[in-house]
Amino acid sequence: MFRAILVEKTDSGQATRLAELDESSLPAANVLVGVQRSTVNYKDALALTGKAPVIRKFPMVPGIDGAGEVLESTHASFRPGDRVLVNGFGVGESHWGCLAGRARLEGAWLLPIPAAFTATQAMAIGTAGYTAMLCVMALERHGVTPEKGEVLVTGAAGGVGSVAIALLSKLGYRVVASTGRAGEAPYLTGLGAAEVIDRATLSAPGKPLQKERWAGVVDSVGSHTLANACAATRYGGTVAACGLAGGMDLPASVAPFILRGVTLAGVDSVMAPMAVRSEAWQRLARDLDPARLSAMTREIGLAEAIPAAADLLAGKVRGRIVVDTTR
């Protein structure tokens, strides 16, 4: 038996509870993992609260991230005792996830935990931090170097934003953090932001082409924020878009793209190829300061993940939440 958060369908929507489950209830897959740590990401919060139709079938154990130890395996790449992690691939959406003491997963979805990280640190990074690394890699791939100018990070106090600031600042970029929580300025400058601006300057409708400022952008917000970020990106700059916390719409003009050669680079973490994932995690092990990772992380027990989801959607959570699935 093991404990898990279980989301079930009801006549009025869904119900979320802490449950005791048996391994026999787990879906079929070729690797059984003893989950030691998971996380609460934005997508997890939507699944736990039912605020958006993230869950594809019921009942569901949510949790798109997990880190732990292989207990059983028929997959050629893994054997009992291996330390592994998973991000995405529909885990916690269409396949039972990792907000649980056990998860049965496909070996094709798993990566070894880098030797530099504990399970707690791997989940302090989680999908949010891994996505931030993918965004940084996208900027680099399109030629955005520290010498080109400032990089804007939106949704800066969230998980993606926090890790993006820590990564970019260590790599030598001048980072400008956008947040709606003025009280988080010391936290953001502690992560490496050189300047903190009010998200209100980006969240209202703006001109289709604005004064050039950003060499690059990491955006997890979408909607008007993304449109304004594009409009103020410098000639030849790149905007890495990875989220929709502010909305799925993009009320923008083609002007930045055809007059300034701006690149809008979409960043997907869910189905990224394993080679890309492996590179991202290797880069995280090299380029992320563990001290800054610790500063942005709070650890909670499994039962606490349910109220934490509501807090995250209400904008009351900064940085990363790690879930200790063993307590």
Amino acid at 283: R
pLDDT tens-place string over residues 98-109: 999 999 999 999
Structural domain spans, the chain: 2-113+296-324, 127-266
The answer to whether 239 touches 262, Cβ cutoff 8 Å, is yes
Rounded to an integer, the average pLDDT of 227-248 is 97
- Supply the pLDDT for residue 139: 98
> What is the topology classification, in CATH, of domain 127-266?
Rossmann fold (3.40.50)
Query: What is the 3 state secondary structure string of 62-77?
Result: CCCEEEEEEEEECCCC
Cβ-based neighbours of 222, under 8 Å, separated by 6 or more = 241, 243, 244, 245, 246, 247, 248, 249, 250
Amino acid at 240: A
Backbone torsion region of residue 56, taken as left when φ is above 0, otherwise alpha when ψ lies between -120 and 50, otherwise beta: alpha
- Residue ranges of E strands in 116-157: 150-153
CATH 1.10.150.130 applies to domain 2-113+296-324: no
pLDDT tens-place string over residues 120-177: 999 999 999 999 999 999 999 999 999 999 999 999 999 999 999 999 999 999 999 9
CA distances from 307 to 98, 157, 297, 313 (A): 17, 19, 17, 10
The answer to whether 174 touches 150, Cβ cutoff 8 Å, is yes
203 pLDDT higher than 90 = yes
The answer to whether 90 touches 60, Cβ cutoff 8 Å, is no
34 pLDDT higher than 90 = yes
- Residue ranges of E strands in 1-149: 2-10, 13-21, 31-39, 65-73, 83-87, 102-105, 110-112
12 pLDDT higher than 90 = no
**Distance from chain centroid for Cα 56:** 20
- Supply the pLDDT for residue 320: 96
Rounded to an integer, the average pLDDT of 20-40 is 97
User: What DSSP string describes 166-220?
Assistant: HHHHHTT--EEEEES-GGGHHHHHHHT-SEEEETHHHHS---SS----EEEEEES
Q: Please tell me the pTM assigned to this model.
A: 0.95
115 pLDDT higher than 90 = yes
Residue 53 three-state SS = coil
